[in-house]
């Protein structure tokens, strides 16, 4: 049996094309477990903490590399 590795980001934009051989099955299972076991209030709290952390971080300056 031949195993093909695909780029899910490009190929599976409208849904998984290989659900029985999905390369991201472990991620799908852990995400489903998180959704089923975590209350919506807890998810909101996690998101709010992440937003607060991001807003309190110092700005990141991107200096372009101007080549003459």
Distances (CA, A) of 3 to 6, 21, 22, 55: 10, 9, 11, 44
Q: Sorting pLDDT into bands at 50, 70 and 90, what band is 1?
A: very low
Domain residue limits, the chain? 23-56
The pTM of the full predicted model, rounded to 2 decimals, is: 0.56
Look at residues 1, 6, 2 and name the one whose alpha carbon lies nearest to residue 23: 6
pLDDT at position 44 is: 97
Percentage of residues in the chain having pLDDT higher than 90: 40
Average pLDDT taken over every residue of the chain: 86
Half-sphere exposure at residue 48, Cβ-oriented, CA atoms within 13 angstroms: 6
Taking only the tens place, the pLDDT of each residue in 35-64 is 999 999 999 999 999 999 999 999 888 888
């Amino acid at each position: 049996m031949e195993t093909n590795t695909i780029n899910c980001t490009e190929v599976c934009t409208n849904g998984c094309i290989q659900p029985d051989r999905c390369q991201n099955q472990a991620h799908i299972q852990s995400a489903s477990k998180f959704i089923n076991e975590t209350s919506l209030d807890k998810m909101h709290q996690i998101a709010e903490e992440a937003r607060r952390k991001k807003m309190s971080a110092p700005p990141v300056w991107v200096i372009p590399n101007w080549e003459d």
